[in-house]
Amino acid sequence: MNRCRAFLGLTLTLATSCSDPGPHAFVSVKALVIAVTHVRVIDGTGAAGKDDQTVIIQGERIRSLGNASDLRAPADARVIDGRGRTLIPGLVGMHEHLFYETGDRLYPTQAAFARLYLASGVTTIRTAGTVDLDGDLRVKEQIDAGRLPGPKVHVTGPYLNTRSGPADPERISREVAAQAARGATSFKAYTSLRGSELRAAIQAAHARGLTITGHLCAVGFREAAGLGIDNLEHGLPVDSDFLAGKQVDECPDQGASLGALAGIDMLTDSRIQHTIADLVRHGVALTSTLAVFETFRMCGTWSSCSRMVSDTIPPRSSPQRRERSAGTICVRSSGGPSTDC
């Protein structure tokens, strides 16, 4: 496994250290006007897909869309036969990162990851927490200027966390102000942040016309909604409100929180319904990160997953490690949990 990690690090280093040809090298069709004919179109609005469509693109904009039988390609257009293919809008990633972690080491890989996102059809991302704000901002500037291939990047600042001792909302306000001054356009409240500190972060962000999300634990979802948070990460599995005996402003064992949720009927329990109603009433968006929690299927049951989460998240680990561990549980061939993934 260590050899695999070393290979991954070397691969990403080589990908970012070699001379980058720029985004134009990845453009396979170069024309002022492009017509994609007889293609199936899914427009992203929720409407049913439409077959046998023609899409006309001029410059960087879609100029027209209609039935292939009615919409003719302009005489000067480069025509692409879309039969058997489907056009969809670019994907928008709401919880992305431009770094990876192995063990206790963090590796910023902005240029390589930006290219991989774009190659996967993701044309817009929000970074949802960073370990290298200046590096993220540099890559965003290079992408915006057309010097690097990548998606449109909305840069979230470094993780906002509490420190030992009494709550310090003034420090959190200063952190938000400093991150905004450097160029962050959103902020990430993290698990240990207490109620007064979260309130200070929200107020500081909103005073600047910016938004804040949270992967919370010491503060539950309903309290955060009442404080005015804009977004919550990872969905109900990380909401500590459902753990009996949870103390105010304390982050309980996340495995225990998940185990408590496993014993709740999600469709009928009134606590679930009240939480959802509160989030809707306050206009709080929820980023579910379902692909992360899909790894729990390897456990067989939610209760076994909760024990594995408890075992694999060190009580005092870095925000990035806790976030990775909370959603990534590996199973050895013997069936036991492993964080070596």
| Residues 242, 261: Cα–Cα separation, whole Å | 6
Amino acid (1-letter code) at residue 11: T
Please report the pLDDT score of residue 340 as a whole number: 34
Q: What is the pLDDT of residues 84-138, one digit of tens each?
A: 999 999 999 999 999 988 877 888 999 999 999 999 999 999 999 999 999 999 9
Whether the per-residue pLDDT at 268 is higher than 80: the answer is yes
Q: Taking a C-beta distance cutoff of 8 angstroms, is the pair 127, 97 a contact?
A: yes
Question: What fold, for 90-154?
Answer: Translation Initiation Factor IF3 (3.30.110)
Nearest to 61 by CA among 33, 27, 97: 33
CA angle 322, 236, 301 (to 5 degrees): 80
Torsions phi, psi of 25, nearest 5? Answer: -65, -20
Q: What is the pLDDT of residues 276-319, one digit of tens each?
A: 999 999 999 999 998 877 766 655 444 445 444 444 344 444 55
Q: How confident is the model at residue 320 (pLDDT cuts 50, 70, 90)?
A: low
Please report the pLDDT score of residue 28 as a whole number: 86
Nearest to 150 by CA among 176, 179, 113: 113
Q: What is the pLDDT of residues 126-141, one digit of tens each?
A: 999 999 999 999 999 9
Q: Max alpha carbon distance in the chain (Å)?
A: 71
Q: Taking a C-beta distance cutoff of 8 angstroms, is the pair 259, 303 a contact?
A: yes
Q: How confident is the model at residue 33 (pLDDT cuts 50, 70, 90)?
A: very high
278: Cβ contacts below 8 Å, ≥ 6 apart:
221, 222, 225, 226, 284
Question: What fold, for 32-89?
Answer: Urease, subunit C; domain 1 (2.30.40)
Residue 7: count other Cβ atoms within 10 Å of its Cβ. 10
Q: Evaluate whether 32-89 and 90-154 have a shared fold.
A: no
- Domain extent listing, the chain: 32-89, 90-154, 160-338
Please report the pLDDT score of residue 297 as a whole number: 60
Q: Which range scores top for mean pLDDT: 58-72, 91-105, 302-316, 322-336?
A: 58-72
Whether the per-residue pLDDT at 326 is higher than 80: the answer is no
Please report the pLDDT score of residue 333 as a whole number: 30
Whether the per-residue pLDDT at 7 is higher than 90: the answer is no
Please report the pLDDT score of residue 324 as a whole number: 46
Please report the pLDDT score of residue 178 as a whole number: 98
Bridge partner list, 36: 55, 80
